[in-house]
Structure 1
Amino acid sequence: MKNPTNLLSSLLFFFLSLSLFQRSVYAQNAKSMIDVGVILDFDSWVGKMSRSCMSMALSDFYAVNPNYRTRLVLHTRDSKRDAVDATSAAIDLLKNVQVQAILGPMRSWQAEFVVEIGNKTQVPIISFSATSPFLSTIQTPYFVRTGLNDSSQVKAIAAMVQAFEWREVVPIYENTEYGSGIVPYLTDAFHEINTDIPYRSAISTLATDDQILEELYKLMTMQTRVFVVHMTGTLASRLFLKAKEVGMMSKGYAWIITDGLANMLPSMDSSVIHSMQGVLGVKPYIPRSNELINFTTRWRRKFRQENPEIDRIELNVFGLWAYDSIWALAMATESTGVVRAQFEKPLSRDNLTDLAAIGISKTGPKLLEAILRTSFKGLSGEFQLVDGELQSSAFKIINVIGKGEREIGFWTPAHGISEKLNPNDKKMYSASRFDLRPIIWPGDLTEVPKGWEIPTSERKLRIGVPVKDGFREFVKVDRDPHTYAPIVTGFCIDVFKAVMESLPYAVPYEFIPFDKPDGQSAGNYNDLVYQVFLHKFDAVVGDTTILANRSLHVDFTLPFTESGVSMIVPIKDDERKNAWIFLKPLTMELWVTTGAFFIFTGFVVWLIEHRINIDFRGSPSKQAGMVFWFSFSTLVFAHSNFLSTYLNSY
């Protein structure tokens, strides 16, 4: 029998080893919880959609990667569509939760303040919906944009304008950080294709319906009829409803919306979509995949359960970017091996604000570096950050028709506009409208708007014309017998009208005769030209000679006709094909005289020869014929051997 003491020691050793093994296994299976802040507008459509997509992204990611040692824990805060609330939420997350990264906020003017906080505390601020170019990832290195910069779409919009040969465009944008951020980039892109921006329409988000109508009426008084709209869905809905009301969604108008608004079309009210018929737009191209189709089905089911009160639900690119942002952050935290948040507190805490008391994150720089080098194939396409921003490879061009949108083409930096997207296409860059599918324009028309109209209230050019008696073929001034309005015609007027019609934009003008009340000329050509210098006329059209003294006051065009002495002769029929043209050198009298002498010569020869020469005898008709034959045959050969008398040789 064994010693009881040894048996007790063995059992104690066994249980101790088992306990240590269980602790080791538990330690190996324990997950590090990484706190991440999320700032969204809970009551907005994008906020609700993004919150749902982030929740599904966490479940999907860790279902695919169950062995990862880290787990993201999301702490959501409501920014209530306010910049101050967004900033307060960020400070609360950093101070009380000590999050290692913040997703959001949603709007560019909210992110402007939160990004500065992240830069100061060295905590990455990741936003998928703050798209304003004013938010610089270079000036604020801890700002990461996992959506597209608004400036990335301006080349696509400029290509559309170039394709339809529009020479003037008016941008209509909301007067916020988001709205005004794209304008400098649009201006540069239009400048490259020789398109002008004659006016910029900035509308406040707090504008009343009357103020919107006032701005639209102002646009109607201008010449340009092509508008690029860059604003949030709420303000854009009101704008297009009022534009439809005043008749600006009809023939002759062209509207282009940017991607931020084009992405929101599925969630807009049907009345707004009805008012936007014929509008063109650009939006990021999202490649279709089995993963995207599967996720969309699951998300739609989940979202309906969570939000039964919402009728129109459609997943857009902001939800996909939110989903991919969670995956990118989860990959980055796993690769860095971060276990818990560490903030370096300031040495002195006297009189410190809440922001200063937070300190500086020790794990932030390492996490930021990991996020920036993360790349994978997400639901929205290839996820790869360049200079802290997501890059886009293509844009889809849409046309609002019926109850929604219709795809009419694509734009890529390499190939420009194309009807179909083919990455392997070898064609050159194109900006042709013929590479797009048929378009329905405002007013339910297929005719391309020319981009300008002549407003009734616009000041016309005053064109002076001379009043004179002679050379009325150049300029002729008559008066309407009923209205006494001038009727100006002539060669110079036709040339001027042809030049004005060839311009790619409208220039209203009117002809003003240079005359007195009695209808007589008010002066000579020098006086007429001098009226331009006095600003009484904007230009002069007529047979005005370019002289040195006149060039001191005005500029002349290149001459289109020459002055001088010319000869005018009547045009006669071409008689060179007439068989009797050989008779023209001599007059009829001379020809008759020549013929008479020929006959007389033949008669004299006959008179001498017929008595002794048998050839000149015979019947009277034969002798008469001999007279004529002999006379005219002498033109071609001599008769010296044929004659019997030497007298006929002379």
Structure 2
Amino acid sequence: MDTWQQAALAAEIGNQAQVPVLSLAASASVRPSRQLGRPTLVQMGTNVSEQIRCISAIVYSYHWRSVITIYEDDAYGGNAELLTILSEALQGVGSEIEYHLSLPPISSLSDPRGAVHQELLKLLSTQSRVFIVLQSSLPMAIHLFQEARRMDFMGKDSAWIVTDSISSFLDSMDTSVIPYMEGALGIKSCYSKSNRPFQEFSAQFQKNFKSEYPKEDNGQPGIHALRAYDGIAVITWALERLVGDTDTPKMLLKNILSSNFSGLSGTINFSNSNSLPFRIINFVGKGYKDLDFWTQDLDNPFSREGGDKNSGRNTTRILEGPVIWPGYLKRVPKGWEMPTDPKPLKIGIPANGTFKNFVEVGEAQIEPEKKYTGFCIDIFREVVKILEQNYSLPYKFHPFFGTYDELVEYCVYNKVFTPISSLSSLNLSQ
């Protein structure tokens, strides 16, 4: 089974018959299945909690302060838990989720392209342009990227990160659809291709594959093939230790869960204590290239330092690269753009202040930029320039002809701008 939904359905039958079910799909939950009321379901898929830590490390390394999460909904509520874990991980590196977009299951849609288009329209008013595709089937991901490119969500200064739920199928994906994803970063399960067991398996796999599918160009075994092979090894190992046991189903499950060996896909250990590295890839042309790898055991997970020491920005580790970003941008994307309906900050300016060198409102000036002058105005504008390196910060000055106390105690406190004539009837002491 290649989806969590299919595995969960099979596990319901497995629970009734007390038959262990091994799933190759990435779980929609960070908790073991036996804690989710599915004690016979054994997960051999990717550890999603480690993927989330990898995502937060990428976001932190490029100083992106807000992201948009996109996921295909399921019937088991697992995405809610993933969003919580991701939100906490991002908060730990000074970022946040601005908006999360839930796509309906593709199996429930008669017009997937139209449905995805309608959902993406909701993002036109958002500011962040860092998109994290947290969970999606491959067919839904293809529709998502096709529509995102048509609607210019993959233009310059945007960034896309996809998880292993998509990247794991790249080796068997139709290469004609990969260009829609060009510029995106992907997290892919890491396994060794240099050891002898893998090379022997790969040679036999390609021989069998070519014999059965002579018209297919790519016969390399992917992570799912390796995990399927390791799954057979787990069952074989567990069965060999059943001799003399009367409670066969229970003991078989116990033996499976106690497995601990080096397989083709990595270390096979169901104690949740092992940490697997991930490859960070970049979608380019009709394929992808390796950029770097990540593991939570490293204090600085990526190998190259980034950041501008002269500007005072933190120096962190970034991907080895070089990265091909959406729109062939040569620098790191800002990750935001002006929304279509910005709500500018309202800046109240004391219009009758005593110290003109600090703040002065020149009513005679026609041009808005020249109307407001003084040391405080200059400081404000310089600060906005720095902030707008990471965020759009539209604002509008409003001259205020009342007292400073009236400006602060009523207008600023209540987040409203009211002309001074309207304040005369108010009891500001309340």
So what's the TM-score if we normalise by structure 1?
A: 0.56
Tell whether the 8 Å contact from 2:365 to 2:371 is kept in structure 1 after alignment. Answer: no
Tell whether the 8 Å contact from 2:71 to 2:101 is kept in structure 1 after alignment. Answer: yes
1:118 lines up with 2:118 in the alignment: no
Most deviating of 241-250 and 495-504:
495-504
In 2, the alpha carbon distance for the partners of 1:507 and 1:247 equals: 22
1:157 lines up with 2:41 in the alignment: no
In 1, the alpha carbon distance for the partners of 2:5 and 2:25 equals: 11
Tell whether the 8 Å contact from 1:225 to 1:254 is kept in structure 2 after alignment. Answer: yes
**Residue 249 of structure 2 aligns to which amino acid in structure 1?**
G
In 2 relative to 1, CA 535–506 (structure 1 residues): closer, same or farther, beyond 3 Å? Answer: same
1:127 corresponds, among 6, 17, 23, to 23
Corresponding residue of 2:70: 172
Tell whether the 8 Å contact from 2:291 to 2:319 is kept in structure 1 after alignment. Answer: no
In 2, the alpha carbon distance for the partners of 1:373 and 1:305 equals: 37
Corresponding residue of 2:211: 305
In 2 relative to 1, CA 375–221 (structure 1 residues): closer, same or farther, beyond 3 Å? Answer: same
Cα distance per residue 1:397-420 (max 9 Å; x no partner) = 111122211111111121142349
1:523 lines up with 2:407 in the alignment: no
Most deviating of 498-507 and 452-461:
498-507
Cα distance per residue 1:262-294 (max 9 Å; x no partner) = 112233333421121111111121012232223
1:240 lines up with 2:154 in the alignment: no
In 1, the alpha carbon distance for the partners of 2:319 and 2:212 equals: 43
Corresponding residue of 1:510: 396
In 2, the alpha carbon distance for the partners of 1:470 and 1:431 equals: 44
In 2 relative to 1, CA 419–524 (structure 1 residues): closer, same or farther, beyond 3 Å? Answer: closer
**Residue 475 of structure 1 aligns to which amino acid in structure 2?**
V
Corresponding residue of 1:402: 285
Corresponding residue of 2:170: 265
2:120 corresponds, among 191, 216, 228, to 216
Tell whether the 8 Å contact from 2:157 to 2:329 is kept in structure 1 after alignment. Answer: no
**Residue 159 of structure 1 aligns to which amino acid in structure 2?**
A
In 2 relative to 1, CA 525–131 (structure 1 residues): closer, same or farther, beyond 3 Å? Answer: closer
**Residue 450 of structure 1 aligns to which amino acid in structure 2?**
K
SS of 1:282's equivalent in the other structure is strand
Structure 1: gaps spanning 5 or more residues: 1-104, 343-361, 421-429, 515-521, 539-548, 554-650
SS of 2:269's equivalent in the other structure is strand
Corresponding residue of 2:223: 317
Corresponding residue of 2:347: 463
In 1, the alpha carbon distance for the partners of 2:277 and 2:361 equals: 59
Per the TM alignment, residue 394 of structure 1 is displaced from its structure 2 partner at its CA by: 0.9
Corresponding residue of 2:239: 333
In 1, the alpha carbon distance for the partners of 2:42 and 2:2 equals: 13
SS of 1:169's equivalent in the other structure is strand
In 2 relative to 1, CA 402–136 (structure 1 residues): closer, same or farther, beyond 3 Å? Answer: same
In 2, the alpha carbon distance for the partners of 1:309 and 1:243 equals: 32
Tell whether the 8 Å contact from 1:465 to 1:512 is kept in structure 2 after alignment. Answer: yes
Corresponding residue of 1:86: none
In 2 relative to 1, CA 373–275 (structure 1 residues): closer, same or farther, beyond 3 Å? Answer: same
Tell whether the 8 Å contact from 1:467 to 1:513 is kept in structure 2 after alignment. Answer: yes
In 2, the alpha carbon distance for the partners of 1:405 and 1:179 equals: 27
Corresponding residue of 1:196: 96
- Residue identity over aligned pairs, in percent, reads 36
SS of 2:270's equivalent in the other structure is strand
In 2 relative to 1, CA 380–484 (structure 1 residues): closer, same or farther, beyond 3 Å? Answer: closer
1:250 lines up with 2:155 in the alignment: yes
Corresponding residue of 1:102: none
**Residue 528 of structure 1 aligns to which amino acid in structure 2?**
L
In 1, the alpha carbon distance for the partners of 2:260 and 2:402 equals: 80
Corresponding residue of 1:295: 201
In 1, the alpha carbon distance for the partners of 2:240 and 2:282 equals: 43
SS of 1:405's equivalent in the other structure is strand
In 2 relative to 1, CA 108–180 (structure 1 residues): closer, same or farther, beyond 3 Å? Answer: farther
Tell whether the 8 Å contact from 2:30 to 2:48 is kept in structure 1 after alignment. Answer: no
Per the TM alignment, residue 149 of structure 1 is displaced from its structure 2 partner at its CA by: 2.8
Corresponding residue of 2:421: none
**Residue 408 of structure 1 aligns to which amino acid in structure 2?**
L
Structure 2: gaps spanning 5 or more residues: 305-313, 419-426
Corresponding residue of 1:426: none
SS of 2:94's equivalent in the other structure is coil
Per the TM alignment, residue 167 of structure 1 is displaced from its structure 2 partner at its CA by: 1.3
In 1, the alpha carbon distance for the partners of 2:399 and 2:39 equals: 67
Per the TM alignment, residue 180 of structure 1 is displaced from its structure 2 partner at its CA by: 5.0
In 1, the alpha carbon distance for the partners of 2:226 and 2:217 equals: 20
Per the TM alignment, residue 225 of structure 1 is displaced from its structure 2 partner at its CA by: 1.1
In 2 relative to 1, CA 254–419 (structure 1 residues): closer, same or farther, beyond 3 Å? Answer: same
In 2, the alpha carbon distance for the partners of 1:436 and 1:383 equals: 29
Corresponding residue of 2:308: none
1:475 corresponds, among 354, 359, 372, to 359
In 1, the alpha carbon distance for the partners of 2:192 and 2:219 equals: 20
In 2, the alpha carbon distance for the partners of 1:131 and 1:494 equals: 53
Tell whether the 8 Å contact from 1:466 to 1:475 is kept in structure 2 after alignment. Answer: yes
In 2 relative to 1, CA 241–271 (structure 1 residues): closer, same or farther, beyond 3 Å? Answer: farther
Corresponding residue of 2:417: 537
SS of 1:173's equivalent in the other structure is strand
Per the TM alignment, residue 435 of structure 1 is displaced from its structure 2 partner at its CA by: 5.5
Tell whether the 8 Å contact from 1:321 to 1:380 is kept in structure 2 after alignment. Answer: yes
SS of 2:39's equivalent in the other structure is coil
Tell whether the 8 Å contact from 1:133 to 1:149 is kept in structure 2 after alignment. Answer: no
Tell whether the 8 Å contact from 1:409 to 1:417 is kept in structure 2 after alignment. Answer: no
Cα distance per residue 1:578-603 (max 9 Å; x no partner) = xxxxxxxxxxxxxxxxxxxxxxxxxx
In 2 relative to 1, CA 131–523 (structure 1 residues): closer, same or farther, beyond 3 Å? Answer: closer
In 2 relative to 1, CA 513–325 (structure 1 residues): closer, same or farther, beyond 3 Å? Answer: same
For residues 626-641 of structure 1, the aligned pairs below 5 Å read none
Cα distance per residue 1:26-65 (max 9 Å; x no partner) = xxxxxxxxxxxxxxxxxxxxxxxxxxxxxxxxxxxxxxxx
SS of 1:443's equivalent in the other structure is helix
In 2 relative to 1, CA 109–259 (structure 1 residues): closer, same or farther, beyond 3 Å? Answer: same
* Greater RCO structure (CA 8 Å; 6+ sep): 2
Per the TM alignment, residue 254 of structure 1 is displaced from its structure 2 partner at its CA by: 0.7
In 2, the alpha carbon distance for the partners of 1:238 and 1:212 equals: 7
Tell whether the 8 Å contact from 1:255 to 1:279 is kept in structure 2 after alignment. Answer: yes
For residues 306-385 of structure 1, the aligned pairs below 5 Å read 306-308=212-214, 310-337=216-243, 362-385=247-270
The alignment's C-alpha RMSD in Å is 3.0
Larger radius of gyration: 1
Per the TM alignment, residue 510 of structure 1 is displaced from its structure 2 partner at its CA by: 1.1
In 2, the alpha carbon distance for the partners of 1:133 and 1:431 equals: 33
**Residue 185 of structure 1 aligns to which amino acid in structure 2?**
I
Corresponding residue of 1:227: 131
In 2 relative to 1, CA 396–325 (structure 1 residues): closer, same or farther, beyond 3 Å? Answer: same
Tell whether the 8 Å contact from 2:33 to 2:39 is kept in structure 1 after alignment. Answer: yes
